[in-house]
Structure formats: structure tokens, C-alpha cells
Structure 1
Amino acid sequence: DRVYAFFETGKLVALNHDGSEAWVRNLVDEFGEFEVRIGLASSVAQTADSVFVLVDHEGPSYLLAVDKVTGKTKWQTERFSRQSYASPIVLDICGQPQIVVSSAGSVDGYDPATGEQLWTMEGVGGNRSTTPLPFGDSRFLISASPGMHDEQLDEAKESNFAMQVVKTDEGYETKVLWKVAKAMPSFGSPMVHQGLAYWVNNVGVLYCFDAETGETVYTKRSGQLCWATPLGLGDHIYLFGKDGLTTVIAAGRDFKIIAKNELIEGATEVGEADVRRRETQGHEHGGGGSAPDSAETKADGEWPAEGATQEQPVRGGGRPEGSSRGGDSQEEGGAPRTRDGRTFADPIQYGYAAVNGSLVIRTGGKVFCLRNGATAPAGIKAVKVSAADHSADQGGER
């Protein structure tokens, strides 16, 4: 019945669908400042009656459950301090919902009703930004990044795997089903679609594995950097590029590029005048039209596994030149900011949602909605793209 959001300022809000606030809290005021280098990036998880917030940082860390109706704390479980930007997820584990957290050193399962830790797997490294995605029978994928400067490379090589949780007389047991050594993502999580597991690494190499055995199906170049998690829909896999390009490949054991589509500049809000403001805020990026609806492209050759960490030619775009906050890498963190603190991020595709026959894509300053006229919900005007531009919003809380 509401929308729940958590911001790096510490604000946790519940909004009614007319935009009015149902309740608001500030976790910084209640529990202390977030001790992080480049902001807090954890998204909330939920059950029917609770919202769960993970605050893993270099200060006192915790997992918090909040009542959806009242906004009051239901429970708070302490966690050891760590630097992480990971998000929790609620999964079906052995027939019961559990909160699963993969974050900087461990993978943990919690009872959503009480906050009790039910199981843990330690010795995991580099798992600071991705989320475990399930593929049935209490199984899910764990992934880890080598870091901005390969400082966690050795740990990450051992921390990309499929795992399963099983119920025992003593409680729960965890086990690794299979492991991959060279498929390491940056920010996007690996996922399973139609029995195949897909990883995209930090230079856009797509790894496909058999989800049951971990056997390599193929390793191919996508030709673009990807920060978002791949999406599997029907017979297609969507790769959301860092430069606004979405590559569509065929689902299945044979690698085939179906189309490459760019976000359209000048897209308008549904039923309204063009609300896009043309200020470039000191940066420019090419407009570009959409790619053909079906543009078959010859796939690149197989990428040698040992070369998967090499820099390869990719499409331009992403963040502009400039200094980063806190001296962090320009490519993998610490985005340059404008005078009022907003991030230069277009046309980076950070996230998406597939809902009601539509694909909603979020970049740094815009939200795009793509809809096929044949699948548009009844009563909704079918348009190819609509965009709401927030580039002129003031302040850091949006």
C-alpha cells in the first residue's frame, strides 16, 4: 500500500501513493553517523508487515526491522563492523522466509520475525555490493568483486559460487555447490534464467554457466561496461550498459546478440509536455536515436578466460572527466559531484524494474519507462519511452 525508501542521509521514509508521508525516521539521528567512504547504497527488503534495513559500515553495524504501518522498530540485530554497500533480500529457505545478507566477509541468514541469526558462512571476501539471487530449492548465487584496484582479487576468486542452505536436526547447514574463479562482477549481481547462470565482469565480459553443475557454457564480450544486474525475460537476456546502451542477447546455450538499444534523448512524460530540462550541468553526452527493433549483430569472438581482467575497447560514455570525492577510483566509485552535491551519472543505467508490461530504467538523473504497445496495461497509453528529469532538483534528498 506504500512506497518505502532509504537514503544515504539516514532518512527512512514511507510514502502513500499520492506522495504524502506516512512516516519518516532518520537513522543517523537515532544510531549515529554512517562511517563510509563513498556513501551508503543498501536498498531495503520487505515482508508483508516489515521493512528491513541493512547498515554495514566501519562503525557499529546492524540489521533493522521496521513496522510498515507505524514506522517503529520491531527488532535490531548487531553485526560486526565492515565496509559494505550490499543489500539484503528475503528468500524462501527450507520453506520459510529468511533475510539473506551477503556482505564483506560473510553470508548470513536471519529470522524476519525476530532478527535471530539462523546460520552463517564465513571466509567470503569481496562481497561488498551484490545481492544473492535465488534459483530454487534454497539455492542462490553469491558473488564478489576484486575491488577498484584489485585489492581483493585473491579473496574474490574464491567467493563467486552457488550455495544451498539445508535444514538439519541442529538447525541449518550451508554448502557450496559449485564455484567459478574468473567470473567476478563489479556492482551487478549474477542471476539464473532458464537453467543458466549469468555473470558480467567489470569490463563487460559475459560468463554463462550451467546452473546445476557450474560447467562453463560460454564466455563472450558484450562490448560495454555493465553496472546493473542482467535481466532475464522470456527468451532474452538484457544487459544494461554503463553508457545508456542495452544489449539484448538470446537466452540459451548459444551466444547471439539480438539487438542493441539506446535510451532516447528527448523522451517525454506520458500525457504531458516535455519536462526534460536541457541544462547539461557542465557535461554533455550524445543523444543518439534508438537502435533498430531487431538488429542482429555478429557476436565477438570468445574471450580468453585469462584475459578477463584486461581493459578492452568499449563504448564511450559514463562519468565525465573530473576529480572524485575522497580520492576513490573514477571508474568504480567516488563519482564526481556538482556544486550542490549531485552526482554526474548520466547515462549510466544503475537499476531497473520490470512491471506491468513495462521496463523502468533509472539513470543518475532520469527515470525512463519503455513499453511495448502490444503489452501495455489496459487504459494506459502505449509509448516507447517516457522520461522524468530530476536534473534541476535542489538538495541531496530526493
Structure 2
Amino acid sequence: MTKTLLCGMLLLLAGGVQAGDWPQWRGPYQNGSANERNLPAVWSATENLVWAVDLPGPAAATPVVAGGRVFVSSTAAGSPDLLALCFRARDGKLLWRRQAGTVKRTPPSNTMASPSPVTDGKRVYFFYGTGELAAFEVDGTPRWSRDLAQEYGQFSLMFGYSSSPLLHEGRLYIQVLRCQKPYEWSGPGEWPTDSFLLAVDAATGKTLWKHARQTDARDESQDAYTTPALYGRGRQAKVLVAGADYVTAHDPATGEEVWRLAFNPRQRRNWRLIPTPVPGNGLVYAVTPRGRNPLFAIPADRSGTLAWSDLAWTFERDTPDVCVPLLYRERLYVLDDTTPVLSCLDAATGRQIWQTPLKAGGPYRASPLGADGKVYCINEAGEVTVLAAGDTLLVLSQFTVGEGPCQATIVAAAGRLFLRTAKRLWCVGQ
């Protein structure tokens, strides 16, 4: 058993979810991979389709799957409603639908339903770019709700708030890394002056702690669309936050900062960050902004203020602006989402094993999935490329689903693939 897989299994067990679930944004191991088997390399409306159901509106949120249910955040066409949806995984039957938020203002390229839900298999938590956070039993019974933007000030990001919650040991971790001045789409109201990491009791919705995250970032560089990630377990666990010119690690119990690394030495003012950090192999893999800038591996066991010389390795070409790297079977798959080029790296050393342009052109907004010995990529137009995972470059298939813009990541769970397009939720399998 590989070190990456062992660490991932421990993380899965610690979280209380079951094998075969995809409980949060980057999956059961927070690295974009799953242990599912017998997954198709091609599908269409007539091939390998288990079911497909219409959705009430478009969104970028990735579905989560647990206990035979698929949970989806959505907009409602022609309405300001933000919806929490639950479908039965085996046949796509809608089990329940709840209004959980309301769109007040819309920034460019964001429906405010970009954050993905998260579940422990007993309850499910929906969060929206408006700051509205709602908890439900998996049968749809409401438990509690809050409006974090009303409590802590507007979520002021140029392209709208998109971070998903992290759920760990009964706590929701939510980061708000935001600009301290209004953008053109922002409405009136008192303007926030801080960024923070928040811990919320998942059972009650009450705040456990709020940690101010210090930064000297300026203007748009204060914005981050990343999601908190968890490294390790027990006393070694750390909550990872990337953005506003730094990657930081925090004590899950208190929010206290354990270490930080700066990645914007030139103090650029437009250095907003989108890809979430990826934990694994004793390292934290992180990306600098705007593509074709360094991807780097940070030793996770450090403390204090780190320097570039502390890094395990860097990779400085064909890196993503949006897509999160995939860590799968000791390899790191890095998708330059504009060119587009996919690179396979040795996750321990950063050595490039192979690299290939993808014939399905960019942009890509969904991150790669690793499952069943395959790597799945989908671009915004709904064109899918499937490659063999491993050290030999092999493209297995390329085909078009359409129904763009496709911005949600393909999910592997319960022996199936789940794909959310702008129009429908697909379930495919052999």
C-alpha cells in the first residue's frame, strides 16, 4: 500500500464517511482521487448512461455523494433563489429541494452557487457566495442556518466568493480572504477590513473561533478562491489556507498559525489565487497565480516563517491558473488550463515524467479526476479527455458531452461517475 493511499484512508476514516463516497470538494482524500473501479472511458446519451436529470439552473459547484444520495448546489433560472438539491444516486430521483440562499448581486462569471456542499453522511452543509450557510439532515430536515456576510461584512472578491467549506471532526472550516475595497459589482454597506479563517460547530452552527489571517497583500492580491484543505490527522493535523500572497498552516483546534510561506516577493497587486493546496506524501503542493508560474512542494512538518529554500521542489512551466493539481498513485497531474497542457510529475521529486497538449482546447475550469487507473479532464465546452494514469502517456478517449459551460469537476463515487453540466446532472457507468 502506498504512503499516499494509506494517509488518504486514515483521513477518510477520521472524517466518518464511507468507502465509495465523495463527501467534499476534492473528494475523500482531498487530492482529486477515488478508489472506484470499472468506470467507463467514454459515455454519451446512448452509451454508458445510467441516468440524467435536468437541473433548475447553472452553477460551478461540484456534486458530493454519500450514502446513496447526490447533493447539488444550484441556481434557479429566472429566480434569485439559491437551492440545495438531493437526488437518489441509483436512479436520479429528486428526493428533496430547499431554498438555502438568495442572490442579491452577481459578479462577472459567478452564479453565487460556486462553493460545493460537504457532508459527513448524516448531515449536509450548503454554502454560497452570498455568505449564506445552511445545515440539513440528509433527509432534508433543516437544522440551522447563518448569513456570514451579514455577520462579518461583505465577501468582496472581484469574481465573487467561491471557496467551499472543509469538514473535519465535527467542525466546518471556512476561509474568507477578501479585498478591503469594493469592486464595481459590490453593493452598499459597511466595508470589511479583515480576512479570516472561521471554525463552526457543525452540529449547532455556532462559531468556535475566528482567526484573523494577517497579510501585506494589496488590491486584488488579497482575493483567494481556494478552499481550505486538511493535512494529517490527530495532533499532526493542520488546516491549510492558500491565498493573499501566503500559504499558511493552522492548528484545527485554535486556528493558531503553525507556519507560513510567502509566494509574491514582487508584491504584485493582481496576484489573486484560485487553485486549492493539495496535501500528501509529507508535502503540501501549492500553485502560484495566473498560470505558468511556479508550482511548489512544501514540507508539511515545518514551523514558523518558511523561505523558498525550504521547499522540497518546484516546477516552473505549464502550471494552472484555475485547475487544482491531481495527486493519484504517487503522481501529480498538473493541468495548464489555458494552453491546455497536461503534465505528469513524480510527486516526491517534481520530476516531469511526461507532458502532452490536450486536443480539446481551453479554457478548463473543472479540475482533473483520478480513478480506476484513469485521469478524467473536461473543458468548459463539455469536451472530455480520458488518459491512462501512470508513467506511459496514453490517451484512451476524447468525446463531447456539451451542455456548457461545464465548470464542475467530474466525481467518482458508488461505482459511478457523476457530472454536472450547465443543464443536467449525469450519472454514467458500465
User: Which category describes the TM-score, using the shorter chain as reference length?
Assistant: 0.5 to 0.7
Residue 347 (structure 1) aligns with: 405
Deviations 1:63-111 (A, max 9, x none): 1110011000000001246111111111117962211011131110111
Within 5 Å, which residues of 2 pair with 1:225-304?
A: 225=362, 226-263=364-401
Residue 320 (structure 2) aligns with: 185
1:145 equivalent to 2:289? Answer yes
Deviation at 1:127, TM superposition (A): 6.2
Deviations 1:280-317 (A, max 9, x none): xxxxxx67xxxxxxxxxxxxxxxxxxxxxxxxxxxxxx
Taking the aligned partners of 1:179 and 1:172, their CA distance within structure 2 comes to 18
Residue 261 (structure 2) aligns with: 121
Deviations 1:42-72 (A, max 9, x none): 0000112100111110132111110011000
Is 2:369–2:411's contact at 8 Å kept on the other side of the alignment? Answer: no
Residue 195 (structure 2) aligns with: 61
1:101 equivalent to 2:229? Answer no
Is 1:66–1:75's contact at 8 Å kept on the other side of the alignment? Answer: yes
Unaligned 5+ residue runs, structure 1?
A: 148-155, 264-285, 288-345, 373-398
Taking the aligned partners of 2:425 and 2:128, their CA distance within structure 1 comes to 17
Taking the aligned partners of 1:163 and 1:146, their CA distance within structure 2 comes to 20
| Cα distance change on mapping 1:49 and 1:228 into 2, 3 Å | same
Deviation at 1:352, TM superposition (A): 3.2
| Cα distance change on mapping 1:79 and 1:173 into 2, 3 Å | closer
Within 5 Å, which residues of 2 pair with 1:39-118?
A: 39-59=160-180, 60-80=194-214, 82-92=222-232, 96-118=236-258
Taking the aligned partners of 2:129 and 2:384, their CA distance within structure 1 comes to 28
Taking the aligned partners of 2:378 and 2:154, their CA distance within structure 1 comes to 33
Taking the aligned partners of 1:182 and 1:215, their CA distance within structure 2 comes to 12
Letter in 2 for 1:69: A
Residue 280 (structure 2) aligns with: 135
Deviation at 1:167, TM superposition (A): 5.1
Deviation at 1:238, TM superposition (A): 1.0
Taking the aligned partners of 2:272 and 2:392, their CA distance within structure 1 comes to 29
Deviations 1:215-234 (A, max 9, x none): 22122111222222211113
Is 1:204–1:222's contact at 8 Å kept on the other side of the alignment? Answer: yes
| Cα distance change on mapping 1:98 and 1:50 into 2, 3 Å | same
Residue 135 (structure 2) aligns with: 14
Computing the radius of gyration from Cα coordinates, the structure with the larger value is 1
Deviation at 1:124, TM superposition (A): 4.4
Taking the aligned partners of 1:32 and 1:349, their CA distance within structure 2 comes to 28
Taking the aligned partners of 2:325 and 2:387, their CA distance within structure 1 comes to 16
TM-score w.r.t. the length of structure 2 is 0.61
Taking the aligned partners of 1:99 and 1:210, their CA distance within structure 2 comes to 24
Taking the aligned partners of 2:227 and 2:154, their CA distance within structure 1 comes to 19
Of 126-135 and 54-63, more deviation after overlay is shown by 126-135
Taking the aligned partners of 1:94 and 1:143, their CA distance within structure 2 comes to 26
Residue 203 (structure 1) aligns with: 339
Letter in 1 for 2:332: A
Deviation at 1:12, TM superposition (A): 0.8
Q: Secondary structure at the match of 2:410?
A: strand
Q: Secondary structure at the match of 1:166?
A: coil
| Cα distance change on mapping 1:118 and 1:105 into 2, 3 Å | same
| Cα distance change on mapping 1:107 and 1:99 into 2, 3 Å | same
Letter in 1 for 2:290: P
Taking the aligned partners of 2:245 and 2:254, their CA distance within structure 1 comes to 23
Letter in 1 for 2:346: D
Residue 359 (structure 2) aligns with: 223
Deviation at 1:136, TM superposition (A): 1.9
Is 2:261–2:305's contact at 8 Å kept on the other side of the alignment? Answer: no
Is 1:351–1:363's contact at 8 Å kept on the other side of the alignment? Answer: no
Of 194-203 and 346-355, more deviation after overlay is shown by 346-355
Taking the aligned partners of 2:383 and 2:421, their CA distance within structure 1 comes to 12
Percent identity reads 30
- RCO higher in 1 or 2 (8 Å CA, sep ≥ 6)? 2
Taking the aligned partners of 2:365 and 2:259, their CA distance within structure 1 comes to 30
Q: Secondary structure at the match of 1:71?
A: coil
1:23 equivalent to 2:168? Answer no
Deviations 1:192-251 (A, max 9, x none): 222221111122211122222222212211122222221111321111222112211111
Q: Secondary structure at the match of 1:232?
A: strand
Is 2:259–2:302's contact at 8 Å kept on the other side of the alignment? Answer: no
Is 2:243–2:273's contact at 8 Å kept on the other side of the alignment? Answer: yes
Taking the aligned partners of 1:127 and 1:91, their CA distance within structure 2 comes to 23
Deviation at 1:16, TM superposition (A): 1.4
Taking the aligned partners of 1:218 and 1:95, their CA distance within structure 2 comes to 37
Unaligned 5+ residue runs, structure 2?
A: 1-121, 181-193, 216-221, 266-270
Computed over aligned residues only, the root mean square deviation of the Cα atoms, in angstroms, reads 2.3
Aligned pairs, number: 280
Is 2:157–2:178's contact at 8 Å kept on the other side of the alignment? Answer: yes
Q: Secondary structure at the match of 1:28?
A: helix
1:360 equivalent to 2:360? Answer no
